[in-house]
Each structure stands twice: as C-alpha cells, then as structure tokens.
C-alpha cells in the first residue's frame, strides 16, 4: 500500500509512486484501506427505524425523505400541534431522533 502525496512533495513520493507502478494499492482515504484489506465499513450502514405508532412513523418517514425542519415536519405530517409535539418528544426520549438546533431534527 502507498499513501498519496501532494504534487508539491513529488520528490518525497518516488518510493510510493514506484510501489503503485509495481501493483501496489493507492491509499487516499480510510475506505481505501478497508477495501484493500477486504473489510466492510459497517459504521455508516443505516438501520431501519420504526415508529411505535402511526404518528411516529409518519414523522420518521418524512425525516427519511430529508425533511428536518420542525415546522415543515408538523405541516407535512398533518398532525395537530399537540399530537405532533408529544410525538416529537417521545421520538427523542426513545432515542430515534435528536435535535440539531435551530428547530431542526435528525434521525439517530
């Protein structure tokens, strides 16, 4: 394996370049190391999150579509404000979502 260097440090890259020319693997990111070793990066795999009721599932589905702003979630979920507030609270308590600040939420 050989690590990539900037073109400004070309004189330092002779050995790495020779390794790559002879069949070595270029390492430009952590994913390249995992690929070279035949390992799977499981830290980025999303696990499906399911709501405990229809109101929770409605909000989770909207968040999976990329909607994160609180007002947009409330309008598009078509839940009344009291039910929406209670549902957001329960989703946070159960660890399914977390606040980002500025009235934005994200799936955990």
Give the model's pLDDT for residue 73.
96
pLDDT tens digit string along 26-61? 777 777 777 878 777 665 556 788 999 999 999 999
Residue 6 CA, distance from chain mean position:
28
**pLDDT for the residue numbered 60:** 95
Q: How far apart are CA 98 and CA 108, in angstroms?
A: 6
pLDDT digits (tens, 9 = 90+) for 1-14: 555 555 555 666 67
Q: Which residue has the tokens 């399911």?
A: 50
- Work out the average pLDDT over 64-84: 95
The pTM of this model reads 0.58
Q: Residue 84: CA atoms inside 13 Å, Cβ hemisphere, count?
A: 14
Q: Which domains does the chain have, with CATH numbers?
A: 2-36 (no CATH), 54-107 (1.10.10.10)
Q: How far is CA 90 from CA 16, 47, 51, 56, 68, in A?
A: 54, 19, 10, 8, 16
């Amino acid at each position: 394996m050989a690590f990539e260097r900037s073109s400004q440090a070309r004189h330092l890259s002779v050995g790495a370049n020779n390794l790559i020319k002879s069949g070595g693997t270029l390492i430009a990111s952590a994913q390249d190391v995992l690929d070279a070793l035949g390992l799977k990066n499981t830290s980025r795999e999303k696990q499906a999150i399911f709501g405990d009721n229809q109101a929770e599932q409605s909000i989770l589905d909207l968040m999976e579509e990329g909607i994160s702003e609180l007002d947009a979630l409330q309008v598009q979920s078509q839940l009344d404000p009291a039910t929406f507030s209670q549902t957001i609270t329960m989703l946070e308590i159960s660890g399914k979502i977390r606040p980002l600040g500025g009235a934005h939420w994200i799936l955990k």
